[in-house]
Amino acid sequence: MVPLTLGLGPMLVFWQWRWMRTGNEMFLRMTKFWGKIYVINFIMGVATGIVQEFQFGLAWSEYSRFVGDVFGAPLAMESLLAFFFESIYLGMWIFGWKRLNKRIHLLALASAVFASILSAFFIIVANSWMQHPVGVELVDGRAVMTDVFAVLTNNTALAAYAHALFGALSVAAGLVVAISFYHLWRRRFDGIDTVDAKGHVIVGSAPEIVGRDKLDHKVWLRSLRLAGVLGLVAFLGLFGTGDVLGKLMYEQQPLKMASAEGACHTGTSFSVLSVGSLGSKDCDDITPILEIPGVLSFLAKGDFTTEVPGINELLPVYEEMYGTNLPDDEMYGDRAGEEIDYLPIVEVTYWGFRIMIGFGGVAAFACALALWLTRKGTVPLSKWLMRAALASIALAFIANSSGWVFTEMGRQPFVVVPNPEETNGIFMFTAAAVSPGVSAGELLFSVIAFTLVYGVLLIVEIFLMRNYVRGGVASAMPEMAAETEQAAKATRPDDEADRPEDADDSDKSRRDDVLDFAF
């Protein structure tokens, strides 16, 4: 949900700015339709995201005690600066149609979008500190911030932030491309648009269908073309920022790099596919099926010859630096004194890494294919291709989710990963981070409960999205129905046009009310 909000916002600002500058109704329609999708997604994002704030105290109290001095600053900035501005200005934009000056109205949207992007920065700063703690010192068993600038300019945070923004843009681009493709296909299916002998579109109109005029064709075609280009730009950005993150990961979390590759032994080759027990510590039965020489070295160091240490070589190093057993301390509960397993769940990191790259690449291919298919102004009249386009919405979402799963699971067994460049003792095992008074059964119950709640919210969002998407631009501009009705009146015989019920415009004020957009 959050990536879609982050990625769709800048497009909305651009379209509304173009409408303000040119007065072209096409851009107004684009702004209102995609703005409706944006608002629905934003509200669902708030409803699901607010729960995360409570988890710090409910399930991770020891973690909160350890990092509270560090997390307080970015989370306060996120709440007071970003989230506050986001909520205020988005409300002004939603309810400000026809009430605010056009420039002020656009400024409200731009402010809300900027605030959401700023909010993401502070969240990623906090998350990246867990991956690479800087600007702190250990005081009485707690991480105390000594340099807020170092925390805000953490190299891991800057790279991860750029990567997340490009990922968000890819999600939004995929959604816009797919929905626009569907409506272009629908126009052809309904016989509104046709093609000539060379396959070029002949744009038609259907006055009896609300919103299906010639301008409607331009709305979907321009939306698709712009989003398709942005989707390709996002993929290139993801490739570049992902390369930077890979090199930082090699320096800061080498075992995560090895587990992502399933590399048991030191080498230079990247395994596209391996078989065997990926979770095995000794890795003896893992067999690479397809390897690309030098690629792993390039991901880690930017050359094709550097030997990248494997799991078997790294585990003894971790054990020497951080111990072989958890401390015999009550904060570890039943796990006190247990042997530490420094190896993440390799099945998750290995496949999470590949799903992220694979689905991201297919999403970019879908954008490129959509651009090629619409080069003559419309899309093929193929039902399976239309269904494939709609299914492609999930590609970038899956890639984004897999990337985050890989990032978070790859740092286990740490909740705060030790910084190899410093020896200040700033790290924390996940086993020590949980709330001591919360039982496993209570955690399981809360996970099940929240999963059900989130499932219901997902169903609600899909239902709302489906209704508004199928309704097209008219679903976001109720006044278009009134215009269609007036056009129909003009074509009726005079005796029918003079009927009392036709003259009744009791609901006209409701259609014209600015609140229609919000509702």
Provide the token pair at 18: 């173009």
User: Mean pLDDT across the chain, nearest whole number?
Assistant: 84
Reported confidence tier of residue 220, pLDDT bands at 50, 70, 90: very high
Query: Looking at residues 268-290, what average pLDDT do you find?
Result: 62
Query: Which residue did the predictor score with more confidence, 161 or 279?
Result: 161
Neighbours of 431 (CB within 10 A): 20
How far CA 113 is from CA of 14, 100, 187, 188, 449, in Å, comes to: 11, 18, 32, 35, 32
Place of tokens 């038609």: 204
The pLDDT of 257-275, averaged and rounded, is: 74
Mean pLDDT lowest for which of 94-98, 153-157, 337-341, 475-479? 475-479
Out of 107-121, 433-447, 451-465, pick the least confident.
Answer: 433-447
**What are the pLDDT digits (tens) for 36-53?**
999 988 888 777 777 777
Residue 441 in this model has a pLDDT that exceeds 90: no
Q: Which of 28-32, 41-45, 98-102, 266-270 has the lowest mean pLDDT?
A: 266-270
**Per-residue pLDDT for 494 more than 60?**
no
Question: What CA–CA distances, in Å, run from 364 to 29, 60, 177, 357, 373?
Answer: 26, 38, 11, 11, 14
Given a cut of 60, is residue 504 above it in pLDDT?
no
299 pLDDT above the threshold of 60: yes
Give the pLDDT band (50/70/90) at residue 282: low
Given a cut of 90, is residue 210 above it in pLDDT? no
pLDDT at 20: 93
Tokens at 35, concatenated: 């703005």
Give me the residue spans of the domains in the chain.
1-266+309-480
pLDDT of residue 502: 46
Give mean pLDDT, residues 9-25: 94
What average pLDDT does the segment 126-149 reach? 89
Confidence of residue 345 (pLDDT cuts 50, 70, 90): confident
Q: What is the pLDDT of residue 478?
A: 73
Task: Give the 3-state secondary structure of residue 70.
Answer: helix
Select, from the ranges 292-306, 364-378, 431-445, the one with the highest average predicted confidence (pLDDT): 364-378
DSSP state of 285: T
Say which DSSP state 472 is in: G
Per-residue pLDDT, averaged over 470-485, amounts to 73
The confidence score (pLDDT) of residue 209 equals 81
Burial class (CB in 10 A: 0-12, 13-18, 19+), 62: middle
Residue 280 has pLDDT above 90, yes or no: no
Neighbours of 178 (CB within 10 A): 24
For residue 493, the model assigns a pLDDT of 56
The identity of residue 129, as a single letter, is: W
Q: What is the pLDDT of residues 368-422, one digit of tens each?
A: 999 999 999 888 888 999 999 999 999 999 999 999 999 999 998 999 999 888 7
Q: For position 201, what pLDDT does the model report?
A: 83
Pairwise pLDDT comparison (138 vs 56), residue with the higher score = 138
Give the mean pLDDT of 60-65.
86
Kindly tell me if the per-residue pLDDT of 486 is higher than 80: no
Q: Which amino acid is at 350?
A: Y
